[in-house]
Structure 1
């Protein structure tokens, strides 16, 4: 059986089709990464953000880094309205900060190594938002709750709830008292996650459903607190 060779003229439409597709993709990526895009961080679906956070925690403890990164990027699109390709850039920045923090050990002074990465991350978030916030302060408070959660032998979950409350207060430029319920519920979700992953056999599906329910309530409380008039 002989293979029929295509002439240059016959191959030309396919070549131009591929070239056009590559050009369109390049333009999309360029526009996505470079063109200014701002929206309100007060506008998000709390149920979807909670679902994605639960999924990320589960992927982390199941050691599925690729899935975790994909979920993180999607979460950034949901919570901060990041454009598609920019969400992966932001996800990389967040992952880098977390990795530096993880490698820094338990000393508070060493933990500060992650602060420049968090400042870079929140600077990128600031570029997406119509609201203004103090980037270094938010980054510093974010790192603080990471430290509180890591050093559970030293701090309580009440301390974690307070640290979460202060971080969110700085991000949204509202009184910390607005986020008391959110901080308590999200800290409790972290407590549940910390406890069930230590049990024999690890967390069950019912455990993850309970964690998700707590996170839904937390993000709904936050969403309600940041709406105009509250």
Structure 2
């Protein structure tokens, strides 16, 4: 969980986000399988279980404005309990689930705000999640959070522009995610 391939992880998350906004849930599930396997190094049965819970959480969160944040948190709690059990990391799974869905909430607020609203709150949300799950100081994972937040901004512009699967924005999003995950791996690998 602390030593992962940031390129594979960034590629998979890009695919997951594209699938999410196109409501191609099979693509989201496939990408989630890769993200869980690469990001957390779980066994195949645990990978499939965890990816399913991530998919279900995203499906409950997706409807706007009538989503189910409590249901999404419940699935993410299951996921983070699995992460804690399989990785032998020591973090509060309820807090991890809360922080995960909190970044989703902050992102949604920013998505529907005036353009140029800034991503500082989203950077803070990612930073808090990473610091909690990996038990590292906030400053250690700030750069990682900035990369992932930049990717969300690119993704949001892609969505606003019509979600063209051939858009060059997808490659830019992918690059920002890879940068963010490289910084995360570097911050947590030796911690």
Superposition TM-score tier, normalisation by shorter sequence: 0.7 to 0.9
What is the CA distance between 1:114 and its match in structure 2? 2.7
What is the CA distance between 1:85 and its match in structure 2? 2.7
Q: Does 1:121 align with 2:79?
A: yes
TM-score by length of 1: 0.74
CA distance in 2 between partners of 1:146 and 1:57 (Å):
12
Structure 1 stretches lacking a partner, 5+ long = 1-40
Pick closer, same or farther for the CA change 1:113–1:84 going to 2, 3 Å: closer
Q: Deviations along 1:81-135, whole A, 9 cap, x unmatched? A: 122232121111112222223358469xx63343222211111111110321111
What is the CA distance between 1:142 and its match in structure 2? 0.9
Matches within 5 A, 1:115-194: 115-152=73-110, 153=112, 156-194=118-156
What is the CA distance between 1:188 and its match in structure 2? 0.8
**Structure with bigger RCO (C-alpha 8 Å, 6+ apart):** 2
What root-mean-square deviation, in Å, do the aligned CA atoms of Structure 1 and Structure 2 show?
Answer: 2.1
What is the CA distance between 1:176 and its match in structure 2? 0.8
CA distance in 2 between partners of 1:207 and 1:60 (Å):
16
Q: Name the counterpart of 1:74.
A: 34
Q: Name the counterpart of 1:45.
A: 5
CA distance in 2 between partners of 1:171 and 1:43 (Å):
14
**In structure 1, which of residues 87, 98, 123 is the aligned counterpart of residue 58 of structure 2?**
98
Report SS of the residue matched to 2:87.
coil
Structure 2 stretches lacking a partner, 5+ long = none
TM-score by length of 2: 0.88
Pick closer, same or farther for the CA change 1:112–1:156 going to 2, 3 Å: farther
CA distance in 2 between partners of 1:52 and 1:169 (Å):
22
Q: Looking at CA atoms only, which structure, 1 or 2, has the larger radius of gyration?
A: 1
Is the 1:51–1:212 Cα contact (8 Å) retained in structure 2?
yes
CA distance in 1 between partners of 2:64 and 2:22 (Å):
23
